[in-house]
Amino acid sequence: RTCALWPTHQLFPRAEESATNYFMTLSRVFLITSLTSHLCLVLPFSWGLVFQTTRSKLFHHSKERITSLKSATVSTVSQGDVLVSLFGSAEACDKFFEKDFGKNVFHRRRKFSDSPSPLDTISIQDLYDTSKYISLRKRGSFDYLNKTEMSFDDFSDYIIGGGSAVIPVDKGNGDSALIPLKESIEMSLSREVGINVYHSGPSAVALNRHYDSYDVLVLQIDGEKEWEVCIDNIEWTNITMIPGDVLYIPKGIEHAATTAAGFDSTTHATIGLPDL
Protein backbone atom coordinates (compact mmCIF):
# COMPACT_ATOMS: atom_id res chain seq x y z
CA ARG A 1 0.00 0.00 0.00
CA THR A 2 2.77 2.39 0.80
CA CYS A 3 4.33 1.56 -2.51
CA ALA A 4 1.14 2.50 -4.33
CA LEU A 5 1.49 6.06 -3.10
CA TRP A 6 4.86 6.53 -4.82
CA PRO A 7 4.81 7.90 -8.39
CA THR A 8 5.70 5.35 -11.01
CA HIS A 9 8.70 7.32 -12.37
CA GLN A 10 10.19 7.41 -8.86
CA LEU A 11 9.56 3.75 -7.98
CA PHE A 12 10.77 2.59 -11.42
CA PRO A 13 12.92 5.40 -12.73
CA ARG A 14 13.94 3.44 -15.94
CA ALA A 15 10.51 2.03 -16.69
CA GLU A 16 9.19 5.02 -18.62
CA GLU A 17 12.41 5.32 -20.60
CA SER A 18 12.39 1.60 -21.33
CA ALA A 19 8.81 1.75 -22.56
CA THR A 20 9.66 4.67 -24.84
CA ASN A 21 12.70 2.86 -26.20
CA TYR A 22 10.63 -0.26 -26.69
CA PHE A 23 8.02 1.52 -28.82
CA MET A 24 10.72 3.36 -30.81
CA THR A 25 12.52 0.09 -31.48
CA LEU A 26 9.26 -1.51 -32.49
CA SER A 27 8.59 1.32 -34.93
CA ARG A 28 12.05 1.01 -36.40
CA VAL A 29 11.67 -2.73 -36.84
CA PHE A 30 8.34 -2.20 -38.56
CA LEU A 31 9.84 0.47 -40.85
CA ILE A 32 12.85 -1.68 -41.74
CA THR A 33 10.62 -4.70 -42.34
CA SER A 34 8.36 -2.65 -44.59
CA LEU A 35 11.29 -1.21 -46.58
CA THR A 36 12.90 -4.61 -46.90
CA SER A 37 9.74 -6.15 -48.25
CA HIS A 38 9.50 -3.39 -50.84
CA LEU A 39 13.16 -3.69 -51.77
CA CYS A 40 12.75 -7.43 -52.22
CA LEU A 41 10.20 -6.64 -54.88
CA VAL A 42 12.03 -3.71 -56.49
CA LEU A 43 15.69 -4.75 -56.41
CA PRO A 44 15.37 -7.92 -58.49
CA PHE A 45 13.57 -5.95 -61.17
CA SER A 46 16.12 -3.08 -61.03
CA TRP A 47 19.12 -5.38 -61.04
CA GLY A 48 17.48 -7.36 -63.82
CA LEU A 49 17.29 -4.21 -65.92
CA VAL A 50 20.91 -3.33 -65.17
CA PHE A 51 22.10 -6.86 -65.94
CA GLN A 52 20.04 -7.05 -69.10
CA THR A 53 21.35 -3.68 -70.33
CA THR A 54 24.97 -4.58 -69.53
CA ARG A 55 24.59 -8.02 -71.11
CA SER A 56 23.08 -6.45 -74.20
CA LYS A 57 26.00 -4.03 -74.53
CA LEU A 58 28.55 -6.78 -73.98
CA PHE A 59 26.82 -9.07 -76.44
CA HIS A 60 26.62 -6.29 -79.01
CA HIS A 61 30.34 -5.53 -78.55
CA SER A 62 31.24 -9.22 -78.71
CA LYS A 63 29.13 -9.67 -81.81
CA GLU A 64 30.94 -6.79 -83.52
CA ARG A 65 34.29 -8.21 -82.41
CA ILE A 66 33.46 -11.70 -83.69
CA THR A 67 32.19 -10.30 -86.99
CA SER A 68 35.40 -8.30 -87.32
CA LEU A 69 37.54 -11.35 -86.61
CA LYS A 70 35.57 -13.46 -89.07
CA SER A 71 36.00 -10.80 -91.74
CA ALA A 72 39.74 -10.64 -91.09
CA THR A 73 39.98 -14.42 -91.24
CA VAL A 74 38.04 -14.65 -94.48
CA SER A 75 40.17 -11.86 -95.94
CA THR A 76 43.40 -13.60 -94.92
CA VAL A 77 42.29 -16.94 -96.29
CA SER A 78 41.12 -15.49 -99.59
CA GLN A 79 44.46 -13.72 -100.04
CA GLY A 80 46.42 -16.83 -99.16
CA ASP A 81 44.48 -19.10 -101.55
CA VAL A 82 46.48 -18.02 -104.60
CA LEU A 83 49.76 -19.22 -103.06
CA VAL A 84 48.16 -22.48 -101.95
CA SER A 85 46.87 -22.97 -105.50
CA LEU A 86 50.28 -22.13 -106.90
CA PHE A 87 52.03 -24.82 -104.84
CA GLY A 88 49.12 -27.27 -104.97
CA SER A 89 48.47 -27.53 -101.23
CA ALA A 90 48.83 -25.54 -98.02
CA GLU A 91 51.34 -28.07 -96.71
CA ALA A 92 53.58 -27.72 -99.76
CA CYS A 93 53.32 -23.93 -99.62
CA ASP A 94 54.27 -23.77 -95.92
CA LYS A 95 57.11 -26.24 -96.39
CA PHE A 96 58.56 -24.20 -99.25
CA PHE A 97 58.62 -20.92 -97.33
CA GLU A 98 60.01 -22.60 -94.21
CA LYS A 99 62.76 -24.72 -95.79
CA ASP A 100 63.57 -23.59 -99.34
CA PHE A 101 62.76 -19.93 -99.87
CA GLY A 102 65.97 -17.93 -100.22
CA LYS A 103 68.09 -21.09 -99.94
CA ASN A 104 67.49 -23.91 -102.40
CA VAL A 105 66.37 -24.57 -105.95
CA PHE A 106 62.91 -26.08 -105.55
CA HIS A 107 60.87 -28.07 -108.08
CA ARG A 108 57.41 -29.43 -107.34
CA ARG A 109 55.42 -31.56 -109.75
CA ARG A 110 51.69 -31.03 -109.41
CA LYS A 111 49.88 -34.05 -108.03
CA PHE A 112 46.46 -35.36 -109.01
CA SER A 113 45.18 -34.55 -105.50
CA ASP A 114 46.47 -30.95 -105.60
CA SER A 115 44.21 -27.93 -105.86
CA PRO A 116 43.81 -26.50 -109.38
CA SER A 117 46.59 -24.28 -110.67
CA PRO A 118 45.77 -20.55 -110.53
CA LEU A 119 46.80 -20.34 -114.19
CA ASP A 120 46.16 -23.52 -116.18
CA THR A 121 45.15 -21.93 -119.49
CA ILE A 122 46.17 -18.78 -121.28
CA SER A 123 45.20 -17.05 -124.52
CA ILE A 124 48.21 -15.84 -126.47
CA GLN A 125 45.80 -14.06 -128.84
CA ASP A 126 44.38 -12.02 -125.93
CA LEU A 127 47.88 -11.19 -124.66
CA TYR A 128 48.85 -10.07 -128.16
CA ASP A 129 45.72 -7.92 -128.47
CA THR A 130 45.89 -6.27 -125.03
CA SER A 131 49.64 -5.79 -124.55
CA LYS A 132 51.39 -2.59 -125.63
CA TYR A 133 54.89 -4.05 -125.37
CA ILE A 134 56.00 -7.54 -126.40
CA SER A 135 59.68 -8.35 -126.73
CA LEU A 136 60.85 -10.85 -129.33
CA ARG A 137 63.74 -13.11 -128.32
CA LYS A 138 66.01 -15.62 -130.06
CA ARG A 139 68.90 -16.95 -128.00
CA GLY A 140 69.52 -13.62 -126.37
CA SER A 141 68.69 -11.34 -129.30
CA PHE A 142 66.12 -8.66 -128.51
CA ASP A 143 63.55 -6.68 -130.44
CA TYR A 144 60.17 -5.09 -129.79
CA LEU A 145 57.09 -6.36 -131.61
CA ASN A 146 55.57 -3.68 -133.82
CA LYS A 147 51.91 -4.54 -134.37
CA THR A 148 51.68 -2.31 -137.41
CA GLU A 149 54.30 -4.49 -139.07
CA MET A 150 53.62 -7.89 -137.43
CA SER A 151 50.06 -9.17 -137.32
CA PHE A 152 49.06 -11.99 -135.00
CA ASP A 153 49.46 -14.45 -137.88
CA ASP A 154 52.97 -13.13 -138.52
CA PHE A 155 53.66 -13.36 -134.80
CA SER A 156 52.50 -17.01 -134.77
CA ASP A 157 54.82 -17.75 -137.69
CA TYR A 158 57.70 -16.16 -135.80
CA ILE A 159 57.03 -18.48 -132.83
CA ILE A 160 56.72 -21.56 -135.05
CA GLY A 161 60.07 -20.60 -136.59
CA GLY A 162 61.78 -21.05 -133.22
CA GLY A 163 61.26 -17.60 -131.78
CA SER A 164 60.15 -16.56 -128.28
CA ALA A 165 58.04 -13.72 -126.91
CA VAL A 166 58.27 -12.16 -123.46
CA ILE A 167 55.05 -10.41 -122.42
CA PRO A 168 55.06 -8.32 -119.18
CA VAL A 169 51.88 -8.51 -117.08
CA ASP A 170 51.35 -4.99 -115.81
CA LYS A 171 48.66 -2.32 -115.94
CA GLY A 172 51.13 -0.10 -117.75
CA ASN A 173 51.33 -2.71 -120.49
CA GLY A 174 47.60 -2.98 -121.11
CA ASP A 175 44.49 -4.54 -119.64
CA SER A 176 45.73 -8.13 -119.45
CA ALA A 177 43.42 -10.84 -118.12
CA LEU A 178 46.32 -11.86 -115.83
CA ILE A 179 46.29 -8.59 -113.86
CA PRO A 180 43.96 -10.05 -111.15
CA LEU A 181 46.42 -12.92 -110.61
CA LYS A 182 49.28 -10.45 -110.19
CA GLU A 183 47.26 -8.40 -107.71
CA SER A 184 46.24 -11.49 -105.72
CA ILE A 185 49.87 -12.59 -105.35
CA GLU A 186 50.88 -9.08 -104.32
CA MET A 187 48.16 -9.00 -101.67
CA SER A 188 49.28 -12.38 -100.33
CA LEU A 189 52.93 -11.34 -100.07
CA SER A 190 52.28 -7.66 -99.22
CA ARG A 191 54.86 -6.85 -101.89
CA GLU A 192 54.89 -5.89 -105.55
CA VAL A 193 55.89 -8.68 -107.91
CA GLY A 194 56.83 -8.76 -111.57
CA ILE A 195 55.17 -11.29 -113.88
CA ASN A 196 56.30 -12.14 -117.40
CA VAL A 197 54.75 -14.67 -119.76
CA TYR A 198 57.20 -16.56 -121.99
CA HIS A 199 55.78 -18.11 -125.16
CA SER A 200 58.29 -20.08 -127.24
CA GLY A 201 58.39 -22.19 -130.38
CA PRO A 202 60.15 -25.51 -131.07
CA SER A 203 63.70 -25.81 -129.66
CA ALA A 204 63.49 -22.13 -128.72
CA VAL A 205 65.78 -20.46 -126.21
CA ALA A 206 64.61 -17.01 -125.19
CA LEU A 207 67.61 -16.22 -122.99
CA ASN A 208 71.02 -17.84 -122.83
CA ARG A 209 72.41 -18.94 -119.48
CA HIS A 210 72.03 -16.09 -117.02
CA TYR A 211 71.13 -15.26 -113.43
CA ASP A 212 68.67 -12.79 -111.94
CA SER A 213 69.14 -10.30 -109.12
CA TYR A 214 65.84 -11.41 -107.57
CA ASP A 215 64.20 -14.73 -106.69
CA VAL A 216 61.99 -16.27 -109.38
CA LEU A 217 59.01 -18.62 -109.26
CA VAL A 218 58.21 -20.37 -112.54
CA LEU A 219 54.76 -21.78 -113.32
CA GLN A 220 54.53 -24.06 -116.36
CA ILE A 221 51.28 -23.41 -118.25
CA ASP A 222 51.40 -25.25 -121.55
CA GLY A 223 53.74 -27.72 -123.23
CA GLU A 224 57.00 -28.85 -121.65
CA LYS A 225 60.24 -27.05 -121.01
CA GLU A 226 63.75 -28.26 -120.19
CA TRP A 227 65.56 -26.19 -117.60
CA GLU A 228 69.27 -26.11 -116.87
CA VAL A 229 69.98 -24.92 -113.35
CA CYS A 230 73.38 -24.59 -111.73
CA ILE A 231 72.92 -25.92 -108.18
CA ASP A 232 75.04 -23.95 -105.70
CA ASN A 233 76.75 -22.46 -108.77
CA ILE A 234 78.80 -25.66 -109.01
CA GLU A 235 76.86 -28.45 -110.70
CA TRP A 236 74.39 -28.13 -113.57
CA THR A 237 71.22 -30.22 -113.42
CA ASN A 238 68.30 -30.67 -115.83
CA ILE A 239 64.68 -30.23 -114.77
CA THR A 240 61.72 -31.02 -117.02
CA MET A 241 58.69 -28.84 -116.40
CA ILE A 242 55.18 -30.00 -117.34
CA PRO A 243 51.89 -28.04 -116.99
CA GLY A 244 51.16 -27.20 -113.35
CA ASP A 245 54.76 -27.63 -112.18
CA VAL A 246 56.38 -24.97 -110.02
CA LEU A 247 60.10 -24.16 -110.05
CA TYR A 248 61.85 -21.80 -107.64
CA ILE A 249 65.25 -20.31 -108.51
CA PRO A 250 66.97 -18.16 -105.86
CA LYS A 251 68.66 -14.97 -107.01
CA GLY A 252 72.19 -15.40 -108.29
CA ILE A 253 71.65 -18.96 -109.56
CA GLU A 254 72.44 -19.40 -113.26
CA HIS A 255 69.75 -20.98 -115.42
CA ALA A 256 68.35 -21.30 -118.93
CA ALA A 257 65.28 -22.88 -120.53
CA THR A 258 64.56 -24.62 -123.84
CA THR A 259 61.34 -25.93 -125.38
CA ALA A 260 61.33 -29.70 -124.83
CA ALA A 261 61.77 -31.99 -127.83
CA GLY A 262 58.50 -32.92 -129.57
CA PHE A 263 56.66 -29.71 -128.68
CA ASP A 264 55.81 -26.99 -131.22
CA SER A 265 55.33 -24.41 -128.48
CA THR A 266 55.50 -23.97 -124.75
CA THR A 267 54.31 -21.31 -122.33
CA HIS A 268 55.34 -20.47 -118.79
CA ALA A 269 55.05 -17.51 -116.43
CA THR A 270 57.81 -16.16 -114.22
CA ILE A 271 57.03 -14.37 -110.96
CA GLY A 272 59.84 -12.11 -109.82
CA LEU A 273 59.85 -11.97 -106.02
CA PRO A 274 61.28 -9.12 -103.95
CA ASP A 275 63.22 -9.76 -100.75
CA LEU A 276 60.66 -10.85 -98.11
Say if residues 263 and 202 touch (Cβ distance below 8 Å).
yes
How much is the pLDDT for 147? 93
Q: Which domains does the chain have, with CATH numbers?
A: 81-273 (2.60.120.650)
How much is the pLDDT for 198? 95
Q: Is the pLDDT of residue 16 over 70?
A: no
pTM of the model: 0.69
Query: In this structure, which amino acid lies at residue 61?
Result: H
Q: Which residues pair with 108 in a beta bridge?
A: 246
Q: Could you tell me how far CA 200 lies from the centroid of its own chain?
A: 33
How much is the pLDDT for 139? 83
Cα distance between residue 25 and residue 19, in whole Å: 10
Question: Cβ–Cβ contacts within 10 Å for residue 249, how many?
Answer: 24
Rounded to the nearest integer, the mean pLDDT of the chain is 77
How much is the pLDDT for 39? 46
Collapsing DSSP to helix, strand or coil, 157 comes out as: helix
Instruction: Report CA-CA distances (Å) from 217 to 9, 85, 112, 185, 212.
Output: 112, 13, 21, 12, 12
Q: pLDDT digits over 60-74, tens only?
A: 333 333 233 233 222
> Considering the chain, what percentage of its residues have pLDDT values greater than 70?
71
Query: In this structure, which amino acid lies at residue 14?
Result: R
Q: Is the pLDDT of residue 146 over 60?
A: yes
Cα distance between residue 11 and residue 270, in whole Å: 118
Collapsing DSSP to helix, strand or coil, 161 comes out as: coil
